[in-house]
Structure 1
Amino acid sequence: MNSMLLAFATLDARLALECRLLSLRRHERAVRIGVHEFERHKPQRLWFDVDLCVRLQHAGAARDDIAHTLDYDFVREVIAQAVGRQHHELQETLCDAVLAAVLRRPEVQAARVATRKPDVYADSASVGVERVAVKPW
């Protein structure tokens, strides 16, 4: 079994017992990013993977109604705002910006953000970075 919720539980068991995991996988954006000259001429594909531990009191989904959980559109909007139109030098700083933004939501107790560039090296599937953060209870 490959459970991100159980992976979060290794940091704090309450993340698995008192939260629901919401995930967005391989969300693709065209991003102006990179430090190399060849990366500065056009946008590159960048994949975002985001996992959010949302406290059940905010995402209990007691009824089959979007108002009873956190909408995935929020995550896509955060990524779009972080990407913007400017050139980013590093995946690290862009990844950190997305992580900080999702953690500003009071419902989000913990988050994982990973970014990957799939088109950098012909002999590699992708290059990327990842961050995890947990808010104090």
Structure 2
Amino acid sequence: MQDSSFSADAIKGIRRMFIRDLVLDAAIGVYAHEHGRTQRIRINLDLAIEDQAALPGARHLSRPGVGRDDLARVVDYEQIVIATRATVAAGHVQLVETLAERLAEICLADARVVAARVMVEKLDVFPDAASAGVEIERRRTP
């Protein structure tokens, strides 16, 4: 069953933004053999964002149905990716859960983001599995 809170929804004024399959080398893990080296991880981010363009009166008069063509009116996914890379590069983290929580905080730093779903997967941890990891969801508290 799909959670509709992460679906684009004009009635609720929600835009969905996502970053798929960002693969980075990370210093991560609790075990001794995981320290002093990096491992490949895959990050997926899914954000529910207040969609100002869906609100009445937000449409550009010359192009009904289209919001202003201005980066300032949307959450900049490049800035999310830059902050994600910096967080991963900042140093050793023991748990994928901790990394996921830090990434959710980055996403929720923009007040327009109402919810963030973050998946962090280790790609090479088991030879007979594609990945192992965690998915979390965090919501802006009212």
Cα 1:58–1:107, aligned 2, differ >3 Å: closer, same or farther? farther
Task: Point out the structure with the larger helix share.
Answer: 1
TM (normalized to structure 1)? Answer: 0.82
For structure 2, list consecutive stretches of 5 or more residues without a partner in the other structure. 59-65
Moved more, 38-47 or 89-98: 38-47
Pair 1:15–1:109, CA change in 2 (3 A): farther
Match of 2:3 among 4, 7, 20: 7
Cα pair distance change 1:81/1:64, threshold 3 Å: same
Aligned partner of 2:15: which letter?
A: R
Instruction: Provide the rounded CA distance (Å) in 2 between the counterparts of 1:118 and 1:67.
Output: 35
Deviations for 1:76-112, whole angstroms, at most 9, x for unmatched residues? 1221232133111111111111111211211111110
- State the TM-score, normalizing by the size of structure 2: 0.79
Q: Tell me, in whole angstroms, the C-alpha distance in 2 between the residues paired with 1:46 and 1:34.
A: 11
Partner of 1:99: 104
2:89 and 2:36 mapped to 1: Cα distance? 17
Name the CA shift for 1:74/1:16 in 2 (closer, same or farther; >3 Å): farther
Judged with a 3 Å threshold, the aligned counterparts in structure 2 of structure 1 residues 68 and 133 are, in CA distance, closer, same or farther, namely same
Contact 1:15-1:53 at 8 Å conserved across structures: no
Which amino acid is the alignment partner of residue 85 of structure 1?
Answer: A
Give the structure 2 partner of residue 26 of structure 1: 21
Which residue of the partner structure matches residue 68 of structure 2? 63
Q: Which structure has the greater CA radius of gyration?
A: 2
**One-letter amino acid matched to 1:55:** E
Q: Secondary structure at the match of 2:3?
A: helix
Q: Which runs of 5+ in 1 are unaligned?
A: none
Q: Does structure 1 retain, via aligned residues, the 8 Å contact 2:53–2:67?
A: no
TM superposition shift of 1:136: 3.7
Moved over 2 A (4+): 14-17, 58-61, 63-68
The equivalent of 1:129 in structure 2 is 134
Measured at CA, do residues 16 and 8 of structure 1 come closer, stay the same or move farther in structure 2, by a change above 3 Å?
farther
Identical pairs, percent: 30
RMSD of equivalent CA atoms: 2.6
Comparing 52-61 with 42-51, which one deviates more in the overlay? Answer: 52-61
